[in-house]
Amino acid sequence: MAYASLIEDDIPLMALDGSHVGRRKPSSEWRFHRDLYASRPEVGAVLHAHSPFAVSLACLRLDIPPFHYMIARFGGDTIRCAEYSIFGSESLSTVAMAAMAGRRACLLANHGMLVAGRDLDEALALAIELEELCEQYWRACQLGQPVLLSAEEMAAVLEKFSSYGQQ
């Protein structure tokens, strides 16, 4: 459905057991949404998108390496790319959960991106940031091989991010 034409009744309500109520079926990707909510109590919003640069990199089936320190915003020294599994499948949720372990985002091979935030505002901000990083990495690769931050440099960034923005 076109997002602009959606009304409240078009969005089904789902329980963690997979049951739903409403006049429409849930998205075919409901499983990885459910599995993130069920396994990660800090997650209050899950966002999945097929944005152009994330999809482009996901089609390469490579993790995004530590070419920029903001990779750490997503919980580690890389943004992982989940193995390929067909859309809407339980196996896609399984590989997505593996790629999301200890992370706030991943790419889904030949598919798109997945992010998890504490609320909708944070999930959207993370998705925008991930798409920007995907574009920056893509652009840097056009000029050559990006210089990657070392494990020690990323560890220092992750340590700084552990209290970043907190009073």
**Per-residue model confidence as pLDDT tens digits over 137-165:** 999 999 999 999 999 999 999 999 887 76
Q: 102: pLDDT confidence band, cut at 50, 70 and 90?
A: very high
With 0.75 as the threshold, say if the pTM is over it. yes
- CA distances 21 to 12, 13, 93, 113, 151, Å, are 6, 5, 22, 27, 47
Give catalytic status of residue 132 as yes or no: no
Task: For 56-85, write each residue's pLDDT tens digit.
Answer: 999 999 999 999 999 999 999 999 999 999
29, 83, 129, 153: which one is catalytic? 29
Domains plus CATH for the chain?
27-161 (3.40.225.10)
